[in-house]
Amino acid sequence: MKHIQEFGSYAAGLGCEVLYDEQMSRHTTFRIGGPADIFITVNSISPLQKIYSRAFEEGIPVFPLGNGSDLLVADAGVRGAVVTLGSGFRKTSLISDTELECGAGAPLSSVCGFAKEHSLTGLEFAWGIPGSAGGAAYMNAGAYGHTVSEAITSCSHVAKNGQCVTFTRGQFDFGYRQSVYMKMECMIVSLRVKLKHGVKDEIGARMDDLLARRKSKQPLELPSAGSIFKRPEGHFAGALIQQCGLKGRRVGGAAVSEKHAGFIVNLGGASCDDVRRLIEIIQDTVLRETGVRLECEVKFVG
C-alpha cells in the first residue's frame, strides 16, 4: 500500500488529480463498482508518459478508463491505478476540410456534434453511443451497420513503457467490437477521423432519427452498460434472450430489461455479483434452449 501511496504522490507531483479509494460506481454508466486504489485524472501527454513508465518499472497495474459505458467493475474494486483523461484531452479540431482530430477523452457525442457543425458526414451512426472517442476506438464501437473503424485514419497512444506511438490504417486490426488495443496495455490519447462533405441539415436529421430509434428501443432511463452480449452470427442476442422468456428476469438489483432484452439494467443497488449471476443464467439458458453461445461485449474489470 505504501507503494501505491508513493505512486499517488508522484502523480500528484506531476499536476494530476489523484483520488484514493475512489468508488468506481461513480464512473460507470452501470453505477456499479467498488473502490480503485488510486484514481488519476491526467490532462496532458508528458505526465501520462511518466505515469505509465513509472507504473511499468514498479509493476503497478494501470487501467485506462474512458466514459465507463462498457464496463462491469468488481464489487471489490480495482487494484492499482485507474487512469482517465481530463479536459486537456477533450478538444476536437479540423486538420483539413474533411479530417478532424480529437483528444481521446472527448465524448463521442461531442465529436459527432462537431462533425455536424462543420457539415461533415460519416459519424451520424455514433450519435448516442455514450463513450469517449478513445473508448470507441478501443472497442471499435458501432451501430446501424457502421463502425468507427470506417472513419479512423490514425490514433496515437502512450504505450506501457511511456513511449508515444502513432498507428495508422493497416495497424488497427479492427473487427467486430475488436481492435489491436485489446492486446496492448496502453492509453489512446488522440484520433484522426476522415469524413465527407455533407449537408448540415441532412446530417442533423439523420442524427435525430437514429437517436429517436435508440430512445424508443433502449432502456436509457436506467443505468446499464448497453448491450451486454456481442451479436452472435446470424442472430440478435436480445431476440434470443426474449425467446427464452428471460425478459424481466432478476437477480438482486439487476434485471433483464423489459424494454430491450439485450440490456441488463441496474434497478437500484445492483452489485457486480448480481450482474455476473444474471449473465450466467442468460448464457446457460440461451445455450440450452437455442444452441447459441452468447459472448459478453461488456468488459470485466477487477
Which residues are tagged catalytic?
177, 227, 297
* Contact call for residue 226 and ligand FAD (CB under 6 A): yes
> What torsion do the CA atoms of 241, 246, 247, 250 make, to the nearest 10 degrees?
-130
Distance spanning both ends of the chain, measured CA to CA: 17
Cell of 155: 490514433
- Residues near 49 by beta carbon (within 8 Å), at least 6 away in sequence: 158, 162, 163, 164
* Contact call for residue 230 and ligand FAD (CB under 6 A): no
- The Cα–Cα gap between 291 and 268 comes to 32
Nearest to 302, CA basis, from 6, 11, 3, 61: 61
* Contact call for residue 139 and ligand FAD (CB under 6 A): yes
Task: Give the count of beta carbons closer than 10 Å to the beta carbon of residue 164.
Answer: 17
- The Cα–Cα gap between 241 and 261 comes to 6
Nearer to ligand FAD, 136 or 279 (CB): 136
Nearer to ligand FAD, 108 or 119 (CB): 108
Burial environment of residue 234 by CB neighbours within 10 A (0 to 12, 13 to 18, 19 or more)? exposed
Scanning 35-43, 61-69, 247-255, 270-278 for contacts with ligand FAD by CB under 6 A, the matching segment is: 61-69
Of 55, 136, 270, 282, which lies in the binding site for ligand FAD, with binding defined by CB under 6 A? Answer: 136
DSSP-based three-state secondary structure for 83:
strand
Of 67, 109, 156, 271, which lies in the binding site for ligand FAD, with binding defined by CB under 6 A? Answer: 67
* Contact call for residue 64 and ligand FAD (CB under 6 A): yes
What's the closest the beta carbon of residue 254 comes to ligand FAD, in angstroms? 14
Number of residues that bind ligand FAD (CB under 6 A): 32
Nearer to ligand FAD, 85 or 244 (CB): 85
Scanning 48-56, 59-67, 93-101, 270-278 for contacts with ligand FAD by CB under 6 A, the matching segment is: 59-67
Torsion-angle region of 184 (φ positive above 0: left; ψ -120 to 50: alpha; else: beta): beta
* Contact call for residue 187 and ligand FAD (CB under 6 A): yes
Scanning 34-42, 94-102, 134-142, 197-205 for contacts with ligand FAD by CB under 6 A, the matching segment is: 134-142
Of 101, 181, 274, 283, which lies in the binding site for ligand FAD, with binding defined by CB under 6 A? Answer: 181
- The Cα–Cα gap between 86 and 240 comes to 39
Nearer to ligand FAD, 98 or 141 (CB): 141
* Contact call for residue 33 and ligand FAD (CB under 6 A): no
By CB under 6 A, name the binding residues for ligand FAD: 29, 63-71, 104, 129-132, 134-136, 138-139, 141-143, 181, 187-188, 218, 220, 224-226, 299
